[in-house]
Amino acid sequence: MTNHKSLIEAFVAQWFKRFDVLPDDSAWFKQFLADDLRLAMPEGEFVGPDGFDAWYQIARSNFKPNCLHLVKQIDVKLGENEGEHKVSLIIHLEAQTYETSQFKGEVFELDVAEYWRLTLDDKGQIKLHDYQVMPL
């Protein structure tokens, strides 16, 4: 579990580092999404990689690149099934918004609780199955 925990923690750091950039193309993120992904966000619920794309376009229309995601807390536990892990996170987000967004160009600052269910195979490949975000 220790090795798995360090792999998952490194993945979390890389995941949010990429989200800070908000690249035009979501392909990097989608390589880690399971086909059965359930994404529960403040904007609604999205299913699968196509659902992730829909949510990602909403995020990109609201937030300018160069956001800051600060991982304040991370807890990794084994899940019920083989290779499954449950990850609980507290994330602090700071982002500049677009004038045309629902946030009207204001600085957006929020702490959220995130709950992930992911699988890690014997080659170290991560797939996200559940991804929930709730404002604190």
- From CA 128, how far away is CA 134, in angstroms rounded? 17
Residue 113 has a pLDDT of 99
- pLDDT tens by residue, the chain, 136 residues: 568 899 999 999 999 999 999 999 999 999 999 999 999 999 999 999 999 999 999 999 999 999 999 999 999 999 998 899 999 999 999 999 999 999 999 999 999 999 999 999 888 899 999 999 999 9
Q: In this structure, how many other beta carbons lie within 10 angstroms of the beta carbon of residue 43?
A: 14
Instruction: Give the strand pairing for 33-41 and 107-120.
Output: unpaired
DSSP H helices, the chain, are 2-21, 27-30, 48-62
pTM of the entire predicted model: 0.93
- From CA 64, how far away is CA 50, in angstroms rounded? 22
Domains of the chain and any CATH numbers = 2-135 (3.10.450.50)
Instruction: Give the strand pairing for 107-120 and 84-96.
Output: antiparallel
